[in-house]
Amino acid sequence: MIEIKADLHTHTVHSGHAYSTLDEIAREASNKGLELIAITDHGPAMPDGPYEYYFGNLCILPEQLYGVRILKGVEANIFKGGKLDLAPEYLEKLDFVAASIHDKTGHSLKNKVEYTEAVINAVESGYVDMISHPVNSNYPLDIEELVIACKDNNVILEINASSYNPAKNFSRADRISTVRLINLARDNNVPLAVNSDAHFCKQVGDISYLKGIFKETNLQPEDVINTSADQVISHLYTRAINQLPMSLLNDSNQILINA
């Protein structure tokens, strides 16, 4: 059974259609034995998403709450050409950037070719740490192309538990594509994260809707990056180092990374 120690996809009341505060989410995460959470409220293009100033002010949040490390992040919306709905000056200050295609955000993407091109361009932008719910029956992607792009850019692919929640009033679950994504990612050493996509505090760390997928793919803890908070931090540290300009890499005294 997969047991995660870091949940990299959670939403607070600031996402508009979520129902818990950061304090409530962190407290619940602590009660469940999680060591790290990423706060990934939706980007400004989401109809009820927060204004960009919200993301600029995340720096005031504590590094930890109730013993749980807090990554300040966003679930950015992907537009045509791979553009994200948050400006680089905000993205560069965040600890964690997830990105995905969502309805009603004005993305103007029309088919699988355009969805895939946009997501891969976002992966290659250097700003994105994780593609959230890459398997989405409403926005199908070329899984093979996506896996190779994530491998080349060291970007995490998510297995999204919320997609399989039968109580939701819409479905984006696609079992066959999810199984294919997992198998291709493992074959290519692409990091996988299993996340709750929590919109209420009691959902944090809950990946129970994926039990059938785990059984079918024989997914093991070593296949999943967020079974260890240290693995997540190490991955983000490596990405940050690799994206630094050469002038900074040549002067280790200038490298200031909160690992």
- What pLDDT, in 10s, does the model give residues 61-101? 999 999 999 999 999 999 999 999 999 999 999 999 999 99
Q: Residue 226 above 60 pLDDT?
A: yes
49 token code pair: 């998403």
Residue 209 lies in a domain: yes
pLDDT digits (tens, 9 = 90+) for 35-51: 999 999 999 999 999 99
Residue 100 lies in a domain: yes
**pLDDT for the residue numbered 256:** 38
Question: What average pLDDT does the segment 97-122 reach?
Answer: 97
Contact 223, 229 (CB under 8 A): no
Sequence-ordered list of residues with C-beta below 8 angstroms from that of 117, at least 6 positions apart, any chain: 81, 82
Number of domains the chain is built from: 1
Whichever domain contains 113, its CATH number is 3.20.20.140
Residue 259 lies in a domain: no
Question: What average pLDDT does the segment 195-219 reach?
Answer: 97
Residue 51 lies in a domain: yes
pLDDT digits (tens, 9 = 90+) for 130-169: 999 999 999 999 999 999 999 999 999 999 999 999 988 7
Q: Residue 251 above 50 pLDDT?
A: no
Residue 169 lies in a domain: yes
Q: Among residues 144, 235, 224, which one has the least CA distance to residue 134?
A: 144
**Which of the four pLDDT bands, split at 50, 70 and 90, describes residue 244?**
low
Domain of residue 184: give its range. Answer: 6-254
Sequence-ordered list of residues with C-beta below 8 angstroms from that of 130, at least 6 positions apart, any chain: 8, 9, 96, 97, 98, 99, 155, 156, 157, 158, 193
In terms of DSSP bridges, do strands 68-77 and 64-65 run parallel, antiparallel, or are they unpaired? antiparallel
Residue 1 lies in a domain: no
Question: What average pLDDT does the segment 104-125 reach?
Answer: 97
Q: How far apart are CA 30 and CA 204, in angstroms?
A: 10
Average pLDDT, the chain: 93
